[in-house]
Structure 1
Amino acid sequence: MTAPPLRLPYQELALRELRERAQWSGVEELGDSELLALVLGQGGDGLSATQLAIALLEGTGGLESLGKLPPAGLAARPGLGPAQAARVAAVFELGRRTARRETERRSGLPLCADAVARWAARRLTRLDHEEVWVLCLDGRSVLSCALQVGRGGMHGCALLARDFLIPVVRHAASAFVVVHNHPSGDPTPSREDLEMTIALASAAALVAVPLLDHVVVGRDGHRSMFEMGVLDGL
Structure 2
Amino acid sequence: MVNLTYPAQRRMRDMVASERPQERLERLGASALSDRELLAMILRSGPKGVDVVTMCGKLLDQAGSLAALLRWSAEDFMQIRGIGKVKALQLLAIMQFAKRILEEQDSSEITTFDTPEVVARYFRPLVAGVEVEHFWVLCLDRKNRLLRRVEATKGTATNSLVHAREVFREAIKLSATAIIAVHNHPSGDPAPSRADIHVTRQLREAAKVIGIDLIDHIIVGEASRDPNRLGYYSFNDAGLV
Measured against the shorter chain, the TM-score band is 0.5 to 0.7
The equivalences for 1:7-156 within 5 A come to 15-22=86-93, 27-28=95-96, 99=104, 102-106=107-111, 109-156=112-159
In structure 2, C-alpha distance between the alignment counterparts of 1:167 and 1:16, rounded to whole Å: 42
Matched, 1:205 2:208: yes
Distance 1:21 1:103, change over 3 A: closer
Give the aligned partner of residue 164 of structure 2: 161
Q: With structure 1 as the length reference, what TM-score do the two structures score? A: 0.59
SS in 2 for 1:133: strand
SS in 2 for 1:228: coil
Residue-by-residue CA offset, 1:32-84 (whole Å, 9 max, x unaligned): xxx7xxxxxxxxxxxxxxxxxxxxxxxxxxxxxxxxxxxxxxxxxxxxxxxxx
SS in 2 for 1:227: coil
Distance 1:192 1:174, change over 3 A: same
Count of residues in correspondence between the two structures: 155
Give the superposition deviation at 1:172.
1.6
Q: Which amino acid aligns with 1:19?
A: Q
SS in 2 for 1:158: coil
Give the superposition deviation at 1:20.
4.7
Decide which of 219, 222, 234 is 2:232's aligned counterpart.
Answer: 222
Q: CA RMSD in A?
A: 2.9
Q: Which amino acid aligns with 2:235?
A: M
Q: With structure 2 as the length reference, what TM-score do the two structures score? A: 0.57
Q: Of the two, which has the highest radius of gyration?
A: 1
In structure 2, C-alpha distance between the alignment counterparts of 1:125 and 1:101, rounded to whole Å: 13
Distance 1:163 1:103, change over 3 A: same
Using the aligned pairs only, state the percent identity: 30
Give the superposition deviation at 1:19.
2.9
Residue-by-residue CA offset, 1:84-106 (whole Å, 9 max, x unaligned): xxxxxxx9xx95x9747633422
In the alignment, is the contact (CA less than 8 A) between 2:110 and 2:122 conserved in 1? no
Q: Which amino acid aligns with 1:103?
A: S
For structure 1, list consecutive stretches of 5 or more residues without a partner in the other structure.
29-34, 36-90
Give the superposition deviation at 1:13.
5.8
SS in 2 for 1:154: coil
Residue-by-residue CA offset, 1:95-132 (whole Å, 9 max, x unaligned): 5x9747633422xx343111011011111143111111
In structure 2, C-alpha distance between the alignment counterparts of 1:14 and 1:159, rounded to whole Å: 38
Distance 1:161 1:13, change over 3 A: closer
In the alignment, is the contact (CA less than 8 A) between 1:125 and 1:218 conserved in 2? no
Q: Which amino acid aligns with 1:225?
A: F
For structure 2, list consecutive stretches of 5 or more residues without a partner in the other structure.
1-46, 50-82
In structure 1, C-alpha distance between the alignment counterparts of 2:140 and 2:190, rounded to whole Å: 23
In the alignment, is the contact (CA less than 8 A) between 2:103 and 2:122 conserved in 1? no
In the alignment, is the contact (CA less than 8 A) between 1:125 and 1:185 conserved in 2? no
Give the aligned partner of residue 175 of structure 1: 178
In structure 1, C-alpha distance between the alignment counterparts of 2:191 and 2:103, rounded to whole Å: 30
